[in-house]
Amino acid sequence: MKLLEVLDLGSRELTEHSSFPEFESFILLEEATGKSKGEILIDEEDIKKEDFLIFKSYLARRIKGEPWQYIIGRINFLGLDIFIDKGIFIPRVETEFMTVSAIERLKGFNNPRVLEIGCGTGAISIAIASNIKTAKIVATDVSKEAVSICRKNVKYHNLGKRIDIICADLLNCFNDSGTFDMIISNPPYISERDLKKLDIVVKREPISALNGGYRGVSIINKILDSSSHKIKKGGCIFIELDSSNMPYLEVPESVSYSVYNDQFGRNRILYGVKL
């Protein structure tokens, strides 16, 4: 069976299980064969039997609802390879958009200190450190599993000297005020009511990384309340959220803020400045 035939087979089998069956078939076939997309498109050889069996096993896992990111064990985040594992939240393109905005803002700071709350894989911190060479970052997460994969990613990108990783709940590990130039977070922001409506694939991700409480703002408002004391005057905060959260935000008077759209035109990013 030719590689293109295998690709089409995968696309057909994933049609009822994915919004992007051809894309995911490509991803899984690349992983199974070790070939690039270009090589798959022009290769006239038959697929190796062992590679075909691996590909079929990937398809079976995906059809059962496992995200393709967990299957191949990594993602691409702003051009950076980021390892991921089951039980760790998968960063989305919306988070890439927020991160790019934060990087642009940090260009106005000298030797900025940044805090990422709920770092997960560490993708945001790694992207910031990779683009802002003078930045020092503290990445925190309450999940030991997330901290472990974050350490792996930081080590892989050789950023251990500029990114400190702490297993902690929100800002409870910090006593000093006015410590950071920026706080950034992609916290849980889905309301408990809406959790039931999530796609089956999303439900395979850790609920703790999705559940934002009754109105979806339980964690967001805790971050806002605590972070207003941890940001330096003139420092800023970026928080990813959903438009449904907006009526319930509790932003301190010491923070001037606005909510702007992501690349899809949806209210997604709270940007605030400490007055």
How many C-beta atoms surround the C-beta of residue 256 within 10 A?
Answer: 12
Residue 206 has pLDDT above 90, yes or no: no
CATH of 85-274, one of 2.40.37.10, 3.40.50.150, 3.40.50.20, 3.20.20.80: 3.40.50.150
Does 61 or 173 have the greater pLDDT score? 61
How do the domains of the chain map onto residue ranges?
3-72, 85-274
Q: What is the percent of the chain where pLDDT is above 90?
A: 75
pLDDT higher than 70, residue 190: yes
- Single out the residue of 92, 93, 89, 94 nearest to residue 117, CA to CA: 89
The model's confidence at residue 137, banded by pLDDT at 50, 70 and 90, is: very high
Q: Which residues contact 161 (CB under 8 A, 6 or more apart)?
A: none
For residues 248-271, give the mean pLDDT: 93
pLDDT of residue 172: 67
CA distance 52 to 6: 8
| Sequence-distant contacts of 10-17: CB under 8 A, at least 24 apart | 10/55, 10/59, 13/59, 13/63, 14/59, 14/62, 14/63, 17/62, 17/63, 17/65
Structure tokens at 209: 């990384």
Q: In this predicted structure, what is the pLDDT of residue 177?
A: 60
β 267-274/255-261 pair status: antiparallel
Q: Do the domains 85-274 and 3-72 match in fold?
A: no
Alpha-helical regions (H) of the chain: 3-14, 21-33, 37-42, 49-63, 68-72, 93-106, 123-131, 144-156, 192-195, 218-227
Mean pLDDT of 50-78: 95
Q: What is the pLDDT of residue 41?
A: 87
Q: d(Cα 2, Cα 230) in Å, to the nearest integer?
A: 58
Is it the case that residue 205 has pLDDT exceeding 80? no
Sheet (strand 113-117) strand order: 163-167, 136-141, 113-117, 180-185, 231-240, 267-274, 255-261
CB 83 within 8 A of CB 151: no
**Residue 201 reports pLDDT greater than 80:** no
119 alpha carbon, distance to own chain's centre: 8
For range 106-127, the mean pLDDT: 95
pLDDT of residue 165: 95
Model confidence at 175, in pLDDT bands (50, 70, 90)? low
Is residue 189 within 8 A of residue 217, CB to CB? The reply is yes
* Region 104-126 average pLDDT: 95
What confidence tier does 5 reach under pLDDT thresholds 50, 70, 90?
A: very high
Q: Find out if CATH 3.20.20.10 is the number for domain 3-72.
A: no
Given this model, what pLDDT does residue 184 score?
A: 97
pLDDT of residue 202: 79
The Cα–Cα gap between 202 and 117 comes to 21
pLDDT of residue 192: 84
- Residue 249, pLDDT > 80, answer yes
Which residues are registered as beta bridge partners of 141?
Answer: 167
Overall average pLDDT of the 17-44 stretch? 92
Q: H or E element: which one contains 141? A: strand 136-141
Q: Distance (Å, rounded) from C-alpha 163 to C-alpha 144? A: 17
